[in-house]
């Protein structure tokens, strides 16, 4: 009988009548689908349709082979219809966390969940189908849930929410490709910076409500239960440093002066609190950096609850609508509340990982014990999360006579090779090097920690580190290097999920790997910056986020623009001779002097203005060390703003042009090493 229901609903959703049904529900206000083309089925001839990337071939669905560096989908090759009532089929949907990012395909949450369910409910009574994927969005989630009816699921598990702060409202941005979207953003911005924030929150609410209404309709029709996993994120170790938006008068200069005061206060908690509160008066609490400073100060004073609230506010204020630097996917308070509210509304069972993790660790701030980076879970984190899900799934299935305690699943150890675990830990170091921008503390401790753990597990992973060094130092893309070919054939294979393909120098990562290896008596040969070569940025993502990504309708810039008063570059030398530098730069919104320093030692100043200016510097050997040297350029403060700080931004947006919410402190055309 259940199979007939599945087949009938699948047929209904793939017919013109089904489409009319959805339209009727929409017009009656019973089904809110703001992005209807991705969420509603299109009329097609009767027959099987794709399930995500699995294409129908006869009576089964077949997955295309992944590329050499992998892809963003589960590795299961074939999906098929159920042949019997048992095993019960649990289908897992979700984002990169659900996909087992950094461990997949060797170990995934779906595999762990299946092992727990079979151990408690019978080896032949459960199977888990993994349909999660990285970069999942709500419209494609709804489409995949609908298409999955063809393989007759008995239970749905939704593990989503981390992507919502970045991927669900891309049109609410001053860089949105559509002219109408930019003009709509301008209208919201006339209310102040809170306007776009409210607009993005409302759009996310509509999309989430529409998606869950559709899933509820599907699940209710075939009478299957739904479990919703409410994510938790790394609050202890992951920081979200962002620049402040344009402020009236000399607000931007004062905000950054207060930031320097907090940083130079050497962790004096009361001074940090005073500085952070003064910064919040200027930015209105919309900048994550301020909340991180406040949280660290409160933690230092022993105010754990105050620190927790500040760190959660830090996550909440890193919105796509107001980004300066590229941020990281993390479930915000709004996302968590939406998941909780919508689960209750539709009768779904919810599993809140914030409560589960706090109970397991007995610590208010989740950190590196459970998280590899901003939201992706360690092996322990995966086990704890899936133990909680398994408990609810067993109860819903009726396969057990009494409630299971989720902790009972965590006494045994999963089978995972040291090579896979070490590769995931090295991947965590690579990810953190790319995306972590800290406020006060350097991230070297975190990077070295992951490298040390990887080497402790498998000393042989040293070769993967050397391959990474060679690929990063090559004057060609990493995919063209012999180092990549070697790594693809090694037990420590680095894939897309590990950040291998990004051609950044990764100065922090190189230093961390060198330090970890040198402590073991293993020299780590660092490259030198050739004469005549442009210096690479120390922090690749410390610039306007659209310039890091290929956004539609935005041509790639040939210059480096900084929305922060300090820009850092990497100069790799042997430390034995003087080095010359030639800088071509400007400050688009003022004039003054740019101050240059190497490893914190002043090496000179150069005048800069709105026109391009070329100047030279000499760095004495006494200021240099063998290996990466950090060259910093401190730009002059932007001039005070009279009237509305967003006046020119609004003028551009009204014309349909992209615009910067953040002031441009400095712009570099070239920074070249010359003979000393």
**pLDDT tens-digit map of 25-52:** 443 343 443 333 344 444 445 689 999 9
Q: What is the mean pLDDT of the chain?
A: 90
Distance of alpha carbon 328 from the chain centroid: 3
Task: Report the alpha-carbon distance of residue 667 to residue 588 in Å, rounded.
Answer: 7
Locate 289 and state its tokens. 């950096």
362 torsion bin: left (phi>0), alpha (psi -120 to 50), beta (else): left
Task: Report the alpha-carbon distance of residue 125 to residue 85 in Å, rounded.
Answer: 9
Q: Which of 170-184, 308-322, 406-420, 589-603 has the lowest mean pLDDT?
A: 406-420
Residue 35: predicted pLDDT: 37
The end-to-end CA distance of the chain, in Å, is: 82
Structure confidence by residue, pLDDT tens digits, 603-648: 999 999 999 999 999 999 999 998 889 999 999 999 999 999 999 9
Q: What is the dihedral of CA 659, 663, 669, 673, to 10 degrees?
A: -150
Residue 399: predicted pLDDT: 80
Structure confidence by residue, pLDDT tens digits, 139-190: 999 999 999 999 999 999 999 999 999 999 999 999 999 999 999 999 999 9
Residue 99's alpha-carbon distances to 32, 115, 241, 411, in angstroms, are 28, 16, 27, 24
Locate 676 and state its tokens. 């000393």
Radius of gyration for the alpha carbons in the chain, expressed in angstroms and rounded: 26
Task: Report the alpha-carbon distance of residue 319 to residue 334 in Å, rounded.
Answer: 11
Task: Report the alpha-carbon distance of residue 12 to residue 222 in Å, rounded.
Answer: 12
Task: Report the alpha-carbon distance of residue 441 to residue 420 in Å, rounded.
Answer: 30
Task: Report the alpha-carbon distance of residue 644 to residue 202 in Å, rounded.
Answer: 25
Residue ranges of E strands in 103-179:
126-130, 155-159
DSSP state of 396: H
Task: Report the alpha-carbon distance of residue 142 to residue 138 in Å, rounded.
Answer: 6
Query: Are β-strands 613-619 and 579-586 bridged in parallel, bridged antiparallel, or unpaired?
Result: antiparallel
- pLDDT of residue 663 exceeding 60, the answer is yes
What 3-state DSSP class applies to 602? strand
Nearby residues of 618 by Cβ (< 8 Å), 6 or more positions away: 578, 579, 580, 581, 603, 604, 676
Task: Report the alpha-carbon distance of residue 253 to residue 322 in Å, rounded.
Answer: 19
Residue 493's alpha-carbon distances to 446, 483, 549, in angstroms, are 22, 11, 25
For the chain, the helix, strand and coil percentages under 3-state DSSP, each to the nearest 5? 45, 15, 40
- pLDDT of residue 255 exceeding 60, the answer is yes
Residue 594's alpha-carbon distances to 78, 579, 591, in angstroms, are 59, 19, 9
Q: Return the sign of the alpha-carbon dihedral for residues 396, 401, 405, 411.
A: negative
Average pLDDT over every residue of 221-233: 97
Quickly tell me which residue has 């739904």 as its tokens: 226
Task: Report the alpha-carbon distance of residue 184 to residue 269 in Å, rounded.
Answer: 42
Task: Report the alpha-carbon distance of residue 527 to residue 535 in Å, rounded.
Answer: 13
Residue 7: predicted pLDDT: 52
Rounded (5°) CA angle 192-197-199: 100
- pLDDT of residue 468 exceeding 50, the answer is yes
540 — pLDDT class (breaks 50, 70, 90): confident
Angle in degrees, 0-180, between the axes of helices 444-457 and 418-435, rounded to the nearest 10? 170
Rounded (5°) CA angle 158-128-80: 110
What 3-state DSSP class applies to 532? coil
CB 169 within 8 A of CB 188: no
Residue 23: predicted pLDDT: 41
Task: Report the alpha-carbon distance of residue 60 to residue 538 in Å, rounded.
Answer: 49
Residue ranges of E strands in 461-504:
none
Average pLDDT over every residue of 54-58: 96
How many residues are there in the chain?
A: 676
Locate 468 and state its tokens. 């990474």
């Amino acid at each position: 009988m259940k199979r007939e229901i599945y087949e009938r609903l699948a047929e209904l959703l793939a017919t013109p009548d089904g489409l009319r049904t959805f339209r009727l529900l929409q017009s009656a206000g019973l089904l809110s689908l703001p992005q209807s083309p991705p969420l509603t089925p299109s009329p097609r001839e009767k027959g099987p349709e794709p399930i995500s990337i699995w294409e129908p071939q006869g009576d089964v669905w077949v997955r295309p082979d992944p590329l050499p560096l992998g892809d963003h989908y589960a590795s299961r090759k074939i999906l098929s219809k159920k042949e019997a009532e048992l095993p019960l089929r649990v289908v897992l949907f979700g984002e990169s966390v659900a996909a087992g990012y950094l461990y997949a395909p060797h170990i995934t949450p779906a595999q762990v969940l299946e092992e727990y369910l079979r151990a408690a409910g019978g080896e032949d009574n459960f199977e888990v189908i993994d349909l999660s994927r990285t970069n999942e969005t709500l419209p494609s989630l709804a489409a995949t849930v609908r298409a999955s009816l063809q393989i007759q699921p008995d239970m749905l598990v939704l593990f989503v929410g981390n992507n919502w702060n970045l991927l669900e409202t891309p049109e609410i941005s001053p860089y949105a490709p559509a002219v109408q979207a930019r003009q709509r953003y301008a209208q919201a911005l006339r209310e102040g910076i809170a306007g776009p924030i409210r607009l993005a929150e409302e759009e996310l609410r509509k999309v989430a409500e529409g998606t869950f209404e559709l899933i509820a309709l599907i699940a209710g029709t075939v009478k299957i239960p739904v479990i919703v996993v409410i994510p938790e994120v790394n609050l202890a170790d992951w920081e979200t440093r962002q620049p402040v938006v344009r402020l009236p008068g000399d607000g931007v200069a004062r905000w950054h002066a207060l930031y320097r005061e907090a940083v130079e206060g050497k962790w004096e908690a009361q001074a940090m609190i005073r500085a952070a509160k003064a910064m919040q008066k200027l930015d209105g609490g919309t900048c994550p950096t301020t909340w991180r400073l406040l949280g660290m100060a409160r933690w230092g004073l022993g105010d754990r609850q105050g620190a927790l609230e500040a760190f959660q506010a830090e996550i909440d204020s890193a919105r796509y609508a107001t980004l300066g630097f590229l941020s990281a996917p993390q479930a915000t308070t709004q996302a968590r509340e939406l998941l909780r509210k919508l689960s209750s509304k539709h009768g779904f069972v919810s599993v809140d990982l914030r409560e589960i993790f706090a109970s397991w660790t007995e610590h208010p701030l989740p950190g590196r014990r459970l998280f590899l980076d901003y939201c992706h879970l360690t092996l322990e984190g995966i086990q704890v999360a899936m133990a909680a899900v398994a408990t609810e799934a067993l109860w819903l299935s009726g396969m057990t006579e009494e409630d299971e305690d989720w902790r009972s699943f965590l006494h045994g150890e999963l089978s995972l090779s040291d090579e896979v675990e070490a590769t995931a830990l090295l991947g965590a170091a690579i990810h953190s090097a790319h995306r972590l921008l800290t406020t006060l503390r350097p991230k070297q401790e975190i990077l070295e920690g992951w490298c040390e753990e990887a080497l402790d597990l498998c000393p042989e992973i040293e070769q993967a580190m050397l391959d990474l060094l060679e690929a990063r130092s090559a004057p060609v893309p990493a995919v063209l290097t012999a180092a990549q070919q070697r790594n693809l054939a090694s037990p420590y294979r680095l894939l897309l999920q590990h950040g291998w393909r990004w051609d950044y120098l990764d100065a922090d990562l190189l230093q961390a790997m060198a330090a970890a290896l040198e402590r073991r008596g293993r020299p780590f040969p660092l490259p030198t910056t050739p004469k005549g070569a442009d210096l690479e940025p120390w922090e690749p993502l410390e610039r306007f986020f659209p310039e890091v990504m290929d956004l539609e309708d935005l041509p790639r810039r040939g210059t480096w623009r900084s929305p922060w008063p300090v820009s850092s570059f990497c100069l790799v030398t042997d430390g034995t001779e003087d080095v010359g530098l030639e800088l071509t730069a400007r400050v688009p919104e003022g004039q003054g002097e740019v101050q240059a320093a190497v490893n914190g030692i002043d090496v000179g100043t150069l005048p800069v203005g709105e026109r391009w200016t070329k100047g030279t510097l000499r760095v004495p050997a006494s200021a240099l060390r063998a290996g990466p040297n950090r060259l910093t350029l401190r730009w002059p403060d932007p001039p005070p703003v009279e009237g509305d700080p967003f006046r020119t931004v609004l003028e551009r947006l009204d014309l349909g042009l992209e615009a910067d919410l953040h002031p441009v402190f400095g712009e570099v055309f070239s920074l070249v090493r010359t003979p000393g």
